[in-house]
């Protein structure tokens, strides 16, 4: 069996081709599917094992990044998405996709509630678009399917609204208690640090979270942007593996599907 991946596209999403290619490199049969084709029933989400919300600027980031896309899905496709999750399948959101996921309530999904928004991603503390590479470390207690075996990773960020915020300390307690925190920004030595290591001012340096099962995952940095050593900013100065570190995140999801379906 070859795992099937639906990579969402349309209306300003612009990292769909890279995301599709990353899944293909990892061994999947990945299709780019327009949001309209899902809404009108031309394509069926149920036919896939993995759903990917790529990065980009869906609907021009009007209102707030990811908000319009979140509403389009919530009021047209949410029953299908919830059935997809109930079937034990996987969802990943990257950058704009992560923004949309938190704004439609798919993350962090405390106690399996995928309908209530508990956190958000908002304007960077720097007040500007941040385009830089960052160091991340993973939470060893996380159940995230996508990050299995990934302890540290170096990836680019490209966003203007990547600051992870919460409304109160109780939310942070729940995030930690349920091991929802997957990735955090660190410096070159693996220590928590401020700007520019934390490029947006996220609380607790949070760069990615999952639901309690680890099957629904969102992150601000772009793993699909590091597929080959030549993507790395120091590829002419450092000896690097041919395959970029970002592919591991996609391969983990493919291996999970092969083992469980």
Catalytic residue among 118, 130, 161, 224: 224
- Kindly state the average pLDDT of the residues 47-56: 98
| % pLDDT > 70, the chain | 100
Catalytic residue among 15, 18, 49, 95: 95
Give the residue carrying structure tokens 């990735």.
Answer: 183
Asked about 224 being catalytic, the answer comes back as yes
pLDDT in tens, 200-235: 999 999 999 999 999 999 999 999 999 999 999 999
Q: What angle do CA 70, 223, 103 make, to 5 degrees?
A: 15
**Beta carbons within 8 Å of 41's beta carbon, 6+ residues apart:** none
pLDDT in tens, 108-154: 999 999 999 999 999 999 999 999 999 999 999 999 999 999 999 99
Res 21 pLDDT > 90: yes
- Kindly state the average pLDDT of the residues 51-62: 96
Cα 172 from Cα 230, distance rounded (Å)? 38
pLDDT of residue 260: 84
How many structural domains does the chain have?
Answer: 1
Catalytic residue among 49, 159, 222, 232: 222
Asked about 95 being catalytic, the answer comes back as yes
Domain interval for residue 122: 4-260
Q: What is the DSSP letter of 243?
A: B
**CATH number where 14 lies:** 3.40.50.880
């Amino acid at each position: 069996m070859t795992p099937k991946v639906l990579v969402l596209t349309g209306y300003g999403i612009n990292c769909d081709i890279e995301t599709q290619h990353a899944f293909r490199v990892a061994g999947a049969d990945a299709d780019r599917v327009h949001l309209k084709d899902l809404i009108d029933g031309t394509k069926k989400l149920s036919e896939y094992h993995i759903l990917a919300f790529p990065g980009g600027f869906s609907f021009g980031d009007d209102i707030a990044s990811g908000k319009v896309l979140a509403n389009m899905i919530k009021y047209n496709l949410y029953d299908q998405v919830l059935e997809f999750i109930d079937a034990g399948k996987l969802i990943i959101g990257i950058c704009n996709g992560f923004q949309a996921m938190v704004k439609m309530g798919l993350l962090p999904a405390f106690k399996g509630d995928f309908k209530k928004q508990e956190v958000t991603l908002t304007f960077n503390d720097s007040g500007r678009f941040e385009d830089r590479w960052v160091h991340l470390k993973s939470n060893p207690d996380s159940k995230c399917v996508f990050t299995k075996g990934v302890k540290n990773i170096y990836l680019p960020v490209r966003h203007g609204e990547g600051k992870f915020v919460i409304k109160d300390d109780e939310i942070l307690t729940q995030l930690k208690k349920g091991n929802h925190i997957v990735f955090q920004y660190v410096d070159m030595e693996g220590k928590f640090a401020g700007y520019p290591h934390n490029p947006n001012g996220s609380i607790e340096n949070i760069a990615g979270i999952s639901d309690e099962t680890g099957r629904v995952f969102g992150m601000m940095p772009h793993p699909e942007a590091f597929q080959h050593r030549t993507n790395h900013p120091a590829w002419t100065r450092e000896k690097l593996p041919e395959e970029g570190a970002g592919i591991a995140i996609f391969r983990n999801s493919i291996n999970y599907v092969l083992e469980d379906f």
